Amino acid sequence: MLDNTIDKEIPEGLKLPIHPAGPVVRFYAWLLDQMIRGVIYLILLVTLSSLRELGIGIALILVFTLEWFYPVLFETLHDGATPGKRLLGLRVVRDDLEPIDWQSSILRNLLRGIDFLPMFYLFGLIATLMNPGFKRLGDLAAGSLVIHDLPTGKLPSLNTPPTPARWPLEPAEQQAIVEFTHRRSDMTDARADELARLTGPLVDASRTPADQLSAIASWITGAAPK
Domain locations in the chain as residue ranges: 6-148, 171-221
- pTM equals 0.66
pLDDT tier at 10, thresholds 50, 70, 90: low
| Residue 116 contacts residue 125 (beta carbons within 8 Å) | no
The pLDDT assigned to 92 comes to 95
- Asked whether the predicted pLDDT for residue 78 surpasses 70, the reply is yes
Percent of the chain predicted with pLDDT > 90 = 35
Between CA 127 and CA 87 the distance in angstroms is 25
pLDDT tier at 202, thresholds 50, 70, 90: confident
Amino acid identity, position 4: N
The pLDDT assigned to 1 comes to 45
Instruction: Report strand pairing: 90-94 vs 144-148.
Output: antiparallel
